[in-house]
Chains A and B, each alone.
Chain A
Amino acid sequence: MISQDVIHALYIPALRIQMDTIPGRYTEMWFKADKAGSFHLFCSEYCGTDHSEMDGTLTIMQPADYQTWLTHAASSQTLVSAGETVFQSYGCSACHRANSTVKAPSLAGLYGKPVPLEGGGTVIADDSYIRDKILNPDAQKIAGYKQTMPSYEGKIPEDDLIRLVAYIKASKDSAHD
């Protein structure tokens, strides 16, 4: 999770968990949904004027219900599909697509894998890694590739960046094959 403006926190009292969302870095939270139902969720880190109206509902459904909901109600774009548009519009696809003339690493199936670094060692490609690589590609150079990618720091607005990371996370190996 990440924030595009101030520090917030996602708080789900029924699950007895919360985690801050901080601008500029990713935080994680997980839970095992073992009971269907609707539960309150709040922002628990004071975030400004309408802090107390920043709430919502967590809906946990049975898999079958969820499929029905997906086909009937999910009209709006998901984060991932919006991210795909961003991926095209910033020209990421020019280099990172599978058969590009520029020798850039493929991003399909990257998420969660270890990446070998120039000068030895590896790093796990998590959310923060992908984000940092977009903003500051000169750091943590990848073994076997010439570093030519420009920095996108200050060029991609925060919301687009979040969509982009979500898209890269979701790119599966199958897209590549």
Chain B
Amino acid sequence: MSDRAAIGVELAEQFTDVAQQRRAATLGMWSWLLTELLLFAALFLIALVLRILHPDSVREAAHHLKFWIGATNTAVLICSSLTMSGAIVTSRLGWQRAMVRCMLATAALGSLFLVFKGYEYYQDYIEHMTPFLAWRPYELSGDRASQLYVSLYYVATALHAFHLTTGVAILLGLAWQARANGYLQRHQNRIEIYGLYWHFIDLMWIMVFTIIYVMNR
């Protein structure tokens, strides 16, 4: 295999060996993901509280969510996790070009998600499901509690979309760097660590989808 690059990690000066550096980086990312999980957990808790306080309004509001767009997006993100895993496997094998392609495919799927999400917001706008816009009448204006749930839907999905946008941007940056020769020899670790983050964004979407879209149907 001619395009098979050597893989490795460049040692940063504060570590004594590469194994220690890898352990630290992995644990660091896991800690960050733990924090992120709790960030989302607060929103899930509020979704639960709203459901207990106003069960009818929540059901009514949830019926106006675009279930099929959400479901499609779930599928898109699961595919992107597959391509990201592909990037990790190829990086371990040292197939640098295949890895870059996998990363670009992942970024493309992530962007597709954002396009669908944007379309969904647009549909919400058309259907007057935007209670926070003071100048636009709200579809369920008779039901004030439903407004809470719709707002929560916006906060949760926007927070997720923000994570995904950051994720795509970092991924493109990494792919740009990874074209250079010898990248895998110095920074193979970064692909692995980044993979954790991507899978986490995917997982968070699955939870948002389940809790906001599916559970209240």
Contact = CB atoms under 8 A, between A and B. Distances in A.
The answer to whether A and B touch in the complex, with CB atoms under 8 Å apart, is: yes
Interface of A: 138-139, 151, 153-154
B56 A151 contact: no
Contacts of B144: 153-154
B56 A139 contact: yes
A154 B146 CA distance: 14
A99 B209 CA distance: 52
Interface in B129-167: 142, 144
Contacts, number: 5
Contacts of B56: 138-139
A154 B144 CA distance: 9
5 contacts: A138-B56, A139-B56, A151-B142, A153-B144, A154-B144
Nearest 4 CB-CB pairings of A with B = A153-B144, A154-B144, A138-B56, A139-B56
B147 to A, nearest CB: 11
A105 to B, nearest CB: 21
A153 B140 CA distance: 14
Nearest to B55: A139
B217 to A, nearest CB: 20
Interface string B36-68: 000000000000000000001000000000000
Contacts of A154: 144
A151 B140 CA distance: 14
A136 to B, nearest CB: 8
Contacts of B142: 151
A26 to B, nearest CB: 15
A153 B141 CA distance: 11
Nearest to B141: A154
Contacts of A153: 144
A139 B144 CA distance: 14
A28 B13 CA distance: 63
A151 B142 CA distance: 9
A47 to B, nearest CB: 24
A153 B144 CA distance: 8
A154 B145 CA distance: 11
A33 B142 CA distance: 45
A40 to B, nearest CB: 36
A139 B54 CA distance: 9
Contacts of A139: 56
Nearest to A153: B144
Interface string B161-187: 000000000000000000000000000
A35 B144 CA distance: 47
A9 to B, nearest CB: 23
A139 B55 CA distance: 9
A154 B147 CA distance: 13
Contacts of A138: 56
Nearest to A154: B144
A148 to B, nearest CB: 16
A124 to B, nearest CB: 19
B70 to A, nearest CB: 28
A105 B56 CA distance: 24
A139 B145 CA distance: 13
A138 B144 CA distance: 14
Nearest to A139: B56
B158 to A, nearest CB: 27
B52 to A, nearest CB: 12
A138 B145 CA distance: 13
